[in-house]
A and B are shown apart, each in its own frame.
Chain A
Amino acid sequence: MIIAERKPINEIMEMVKDAKRILVLGCRGCVTICSAGGEREVEILASLIRLGKQKAGQEVSTIEATLVRQCDKEYIDSIDQWDGQYDAIVSMACGVGVNFIANLRPMAKVYPGVNTSSFGGSAEQGVWSEQCAGCGDCVLHLTGGLCPVARCAKSLMNGPCGGSVGGRCEIHKDVPCIWQSIHDKLVRIDNAEGLAAIAPIRDWSTSGHGGPRKTVRNDLTV
């Protein structure tokens, strides 16, 4: 899922300082699962916004709503039901949702309520860790299913750097050296001979270094 976390409330208050009617818009997708921007978080943020405005002596009204997703045009269309009832939207979806609203409703003032951080999973209750960088050229079949792009601090492709000590990364003792993990995994599954192959210099154009990426599936387009 996409991992996100609510922005500090003072940052959000600065964004909406001129708005008197605010639509706080959650998303039932990833940000609900990682407890950043679902229905419950919308309720909390709307309350905090009202309190912040009360403190500033400003009038405010909030509309609280949560869309099924904010990354599909069909769902974005449903915000039209509140046309004329808000001055600004605070989207608690990931950055995709904010962009989609901005794309599809050019006159809407839309602000991000969360910081979108990574593609990851729930490591334990309340803890999420990055697992995938969305680089567009997956090598997991060569690395035992463990990603060196997302999980190596240097995104190295040919084994660990000199900072790998005792299976740990030099950036922090809590971070495993993923290349050590890859080695251990490939040995365990009797596939270590693949490590001898030298990965060529990587073409990072699929990773966003070649500009915004677009996926077109001709079998699905209409």
Chain B
Amino acid sequence: MSFTPNIQAFCCHYTSQQTLAEGPKGLQADGFPKSITIHRLVCTGKLEVSTLLKAFEDGADGVYVAGCPLDKCHNLMGSQRAAKRVAAIKKALAELGVEPERIEMYHLERGFHPAFVKAAQEMNERITTLGPSPFQGGTK
């Protein structure tokens, strides 16, 4: 049975500039998977743990965060904070017996670059391999 994952991506203003410039069609032409919904934020440091958990509650099979490089965050420590929150959720997922790989943190350069699309493809492949979320309910 084919499985199209529901992946929610939380990207900061800088790492997701490509989405603004190219729009959804342009991004898909670059190879950005359709399964991924992008949520743009001013900074990933603004992300709350509860927001990421809510994505799983709402039916996400995978979630990832794309923020600035660790030492080059536009807001100095925003992406470091986001990475710690993602790590906390990985720990909680493991405690619940769920694959921690269902959530990931990426540190990407700002602007147009293949890494933004590559991270999305990697996540799409990973979640497709893992299969549907073990959390029942949601939108599926």
Contact = CB atoms under 8 A, between A and B. Distances in A.
Interface of A: 8-10, 13, 40, 43-44, 47-48, 50-52, 54-55, 57
Interface in B10-27: none
Contact of A55 (B48, B49, B50, B98): B98
Contacts of B137: 54
B48 A48 contact: no
A166 to B, nearest CB: 33
Q: How large is the interface on B (under 10, 10 to 19, 20 to 34, 35 or more residues)?
A: 10 to 19
A9 B57 contact: no
Interface in B72-95: 92, 95
A9 B92 contact: yes
Nearest to A9: B95
Contacts of A40: 48, 50
Contact of A57 (B56, B57, B98, B136): B136
B135 A44 contact: no
A10 B57 contact: no
Interface string B29-60: 00000000000000000001110011011000
B50 A43 contact: yes
Interface of B: 48-50, 53-54, 56-57, 92, 95-98, 134-138
A180 to B, nearest CB: 34
Nearest to B96: A52
Nearest to B84: A126
B2 to A, nearest CB: 23
A55 B98 CA distance: 9
Contacts of B134: 55
Given A44-B49, A47-B57, 4 more contacts: A44-B50, A47-B50, A48-B92, A51-B57
Contact of A10 (B50, B56, B95): B95
Contacts of A47: 50, 53-54, 57
B57 A8 contact: no
Contacts of B136: 54-55, 57
Nearest to B98: A55
